[in-house]
A and B are shown apart, each in its own frame.
Chain A
Amino acid sequence: MEFFRSHVLICGGTGCHSSGSADVMETFKAELAKNNLENEVKLVQTGCFGLCAVGPVVIVYPEGAFYSRVSVEDVSRIVSEHLLKGRIVTDLLYHDSIHEDEAIKSLNEVDFYKKQKRLALRNCGVIDPENIDEYIAFDGYKALGKVLLEMTPEETIDIIKASGLRGRGGAGFPTGVKWEFTAKAEGDKKYVCCNADEGDPGAFMDRSVLEGDPHSVLEAMAIAGYAIGADQGYIYVRAEYPIAVKRLTIAIGQAREAGLLGKNIFGTDFSFDLELRLGAGAFVCGEETALMASIEGRRGEPRPRPPFPAVKGLFGKPTLLNNVETYANIPQIILNGPEWFQTIGTEKSKGTKVFALGGKINNTGLVEVPMGTTLREIIYEIGGGIPNGKEFKAAQTGGPSGGCIPARHLDTPIDYDSLTKIGSMMGSGGLIVMDEDNCMVDIARFFLDFTVDESCGKCPPCRIGTKRMLEILDRITKGQGKEGDIEKLEELGKNIKASALCGLGQTAPNPVLSTIQYFRDEYEAHIRDKKCPAGICQALLQITIQAELCRGCGLCVKACPVDAISGERKSAHTIDQSKCIKCGACMEKCPFKAIVKG
């Protein structure tokens, strides 16, 4: 038996990777060797722990010591103090991971984790994603075995249907029903596909699952293959996710070697294999028909539905497409039963949802909560609130297809239906928090700019309509808005939603419409008063010196790069607005806070 007295888990997700976890790993290796500890202490590179804001994250077991922001320089201390002498390096621990008496909290006592429930992420940050045996040790591939040896395809579908699981890719379609449609469709050949395109700006849920627990997706796809009668699957993953691609490639190789992919799995006559297809990063390729066109090697453009992919999908054959997170839930539903899954979540939205928390929030990172958790709990309890004591203004869910949620809806329990009701949507799980310094018109413009860029151009409502909306928003943010602009945006938005070919165009106006719904006064301030209340839209800002506070010290004159400030020494200065480029350099320099933007 292999026995290590201590395990050092180093997060190797993209977040921690970019804050330097690979170097930390190398340094640990070297330091352990230097101290002759290689045979006592095991190093494991895992997937995401979720707390990306304080990465690189390192957890040392058996103590469960949670080190955050670990630098290469810190490693030798952790090795010589903690791993050699057993003295935990308290000052390097994550601030919320110890009690007042410096005893270590267990992870579910830490605020960030307390309200979370990790189902899709259950193995992320726990196992080595490049080692299939560790996945198996946590009951991996047992659900596949159970399905193949003890259940019929129909029984399998019934379990998924009974669980109430709905698609995590955005639309929330009941997964079991989709499986049933595809199973019942006529076809000599069928396919199972996984949507790992994850194109929403700010979303990284699916990437984290693939990086931290790739086998859970492979296992679920094989189960789906058995259920619908397919022997071939494709995972469509964006090429911008190199770590996910690497771990998937390794996982597929190991699963084939272990006979968990390939011919006659578990000695049955069921055979199933998987291939990766790399997407080039077009948002529209996340749409199901465009995705399949892209897998076939054609241009990634959507087509009208019906026929739905369940009837006529990849290569014209019945095809099942699910999202990464949807799949990650499947093995556990099989093992624990649909009743268990039913107990989590709300009446019509069962289970959990993973959110990528970003924007103005202290704990940027990945969280998984039961459906029905409120936005307030996510932002203030798990997310640690908004930095610098600023005021919450809105949260954007669903990315460029979704809408914003204002403060008055903070206590809405989050599920598919409640979010739609308040003008947003669940989307795939991006959650961007905005504070008082965000301009809602500018946010709407940002998302529309994205969709205009990403529109494939096939249908005119999306190609031309969103472009016209963007032009109007551009004008408004530049101080050239006119009376009637808001109404025109609303009319265009409504028409585009009703007439675009695919989900991209059908949802593109949402960020504009929902910001108009909740923050119409901000639009009006831009249009009528030529003012940006949040102080973001450069063209609408003026930087001025308040004469009564100015002492005439002249520091601002020196700071101004365009010589726009003048005045006598020891008397109030003024800014020549025709020269000012609004860089704000003078504001930073003024010792009397006499210069304001607004």
Chain B
Amino acid sequence: MKSLKELEEIKQRTLDSVNLRKERTGGTRVVVGMATCGIAAGARPVLLAFLEEVKKRNLGDVTVSQTGCIGVCRLEPMVEVTRPGEEKVTYVKMTADKVKRVVAEHIVNGHVVTEYTIGAAE
């Protein structure tokens, strides 16, 4: 160890991987419906795609978790995205490709991908 800067680098590099264990305050939450209906409709690849994108883009303050049935089984896989201080947005009939757009446009840049939302589908 030669300097505080070097120590800080280790800290920053590791922080993202331990942040999850702190009390959550800010940060975007992604919740994937993973009940039997969701899994049958392909929720696992959707979940994995979120993880992949978050990892690729170094989005340390995003939590990706799952929940049970969100309620509209015919529209599964469903995903809820909540940015801090904003309304929850529900996306339906998600696929791995759609995930890429949601991450890039909504999570990173704050623009909801309206055409994938439950409002557009109904």
A contacts, CB < 8 Å to B: 1-7, 9, 39-40, 42, 61-64, 84-87, 106, 126-127, 133-134, 136-139, 141-142, 145-146, 149, 258-260, 265-267
- Taken together as a complex, chains A and B put the C-alpha atoms of A126 and B21 apart, in Å, by 7
- Taken together as a complex, chains A and B put the C-alpha atoms of A4 and B34 apart, in Å, by 17
- Taken together as a complex, chains A and B put the C-alpha atoms of A138 and B54 apart, in Å, by 22
Return B71 CB to nearest CB of chain A, in Å. Answer: 14
Q: Are B32 and A86 in contact (CB-based, < 8 A)?
A: yes
- Taken together as a complex, chains A and B put the C-alpha atoms of A55 and B91 apart, in Å, by 40
Name the contact of B13 in the complex, choosing from A6, A106, A133 (C-beta under 8 A): A133
Known: A85-B35, A137-B15. A5 touches B63 (CB 8 A): yes
**Selected A-B contacts with CB under 8 Å, 29 pairs:** A1-B16, A1-B60, A4-B17, A5-B50, A5-B65, A6-B20, A7-B20, A7-B21, A42-B17, A61-B20, A62-B20, A62-B65, A63-B65, A86-B34, A86-B65, A86-B67, A86-B68, A106-B23, A126-B21, A133-B10, A136-B7, A136-B11, A137-B11, A137-B14, A137-B17, A141-B7, A146-B4, A267-B1, A267-B2
Beyond A136-B11, A146-B4, 17 additional pairs, beta carbon < 8 A:
A1-B16, A1-B60, A42-B17, A64-B23, A84-B66, A85-B68, A86-B32, A86-B66, A87-B67, A106-B23, A126-B21, A137-B11, A137-B15, A137-B18, A138-B18, A141-B7, A142-B7
Measured between beta carbons, the chain A residues less than 8 angstroms from B18 are: 126-127, 134, 137-138
Measured between beta carbons, the chain A residues less than 8 angstroms from B20 are: 4, 6-7, 61-62
Q: Are B63 and A62 in contact (CB-based, < 8 A)?
A: yes
Cβ-closest chain A residue relative to B5: A145
- Taken together as a complex, chains A and B put the C-alpha atoms of A146 and B24 apart, in Å, by 29
Return B69 CB to nearest CB of chain A, in Å. Answer: 9
Measured between beta carbons, the chain B residues less than 8 angstroms from A1 are: 16-17, 55, 58, 60
- Taken together as a complex, chains A and B put the C-alpha atoms of A17 and B13 apart, in Å, by 30
Known: A2-B16, A3-B51, A86-B34. A266 touches B3 (CB 8 A): yes
Return A261 CB to nearest CB of chain B, in Å. Answer: 10
Measured between beta carbons, the chain B residues less than 8 angstroms from A63 are: 65
Return B30 CB to nearest CB of chain A, in Å. Answer: 9
- Taken together as a complex, chains A and B put the C-alpha atoms of A6 and B50 apart, in Å, by 13
Q: Are B51 and A40 in contact (CB-based, < 8 A)?
A: yes
Measured between beta carbons, the chain B residues less than 8 angstroms from A9 are: 21
Residue of B11, B21, B48 with most partner-chain A CB within 10 A:
B21
- Taken together as a complex, chains A and B put the C-alpha atoms of A2 and B23 apart, in Å, by 20
Report the 3 A-B pairs with minimum CB-CB distance, sorted nearest first.
A86-B66, A137-B14, A3-B55
Kindly state whether residue B96 has any CB partner on chain A within 8 Å. Answer: no
- Taken together as a complex, chains A and B put the C-alpha atoms of A7 and B18 apart, in Å, by 9
Measured between beta carbons, the chain A residues less than 8 angstroms from B11 are: 136-137, 139, 142
Return B111 CB to nearest CB of chain A, in Å. Answer: 23
Return A430 CB to nearest CB of chain B, in Å. Answer: 30
Q: Are B14 and A134 in contact (CB-based, < 8 A)?
A: yes
Return A137 CB to nearest CB of chain B, in Å. Answer: 4
Q: Are A2 and B17 in contact (CB-based, < 8 A)?
A: yes
Measured between beta carbons, the chain B residues less than 8 angstroms from A146 are: 4
Name the contact of B68 in the complex, choosing from A61, A64, A87, A260 (C-beta under 8 A): A87
Q: Are A85 and B34 in contact (CB-based, < 8 A)?
A: yes
Measured between beta carbons, the chain A residues less than 8 angstroms from B14 are: 133-134, 136-137
Kindly state whether residue B118 has any CB partner on chain A within 8 Å. Answer: no
Measured between beta carbons, the chain B residues less than 8 angstroms from A137 are: 10-11, 14-15, 17-18
Cβ-closest chain A residue relative to B21: A61
Measured between beta carbons, the chain B residues less than 8 angstroms from A265 are: 1
- Taken together as a complex, chains A and B put the C-alpha atoms of A180 and B83 apart, in Å, by 53
Return B109 CB to nearest CB of chain A, in Å. Answer: 19
Kindly state whether residue B113 has any CB partner on chain A within 8 Å. Answer: no
Kindly state whether residue B73 has any CB partner on chain A within 8 Å. Answer: no
Q: Are A3 and B4 in contact (CB-based, < 8 A)?
A: no
Kindly state whether residue B64 has any CB partner on chain A within 8 Å. Answer: yes
Q: Are B54 and A145 in contact (CB-based, < 8 A)?
A: no
Q: Are B1 and A258 in contact (CB-based, < 8 A)?
A: yes
Return B13 CB to nearest CB of chain A, in Å. Answer: 7
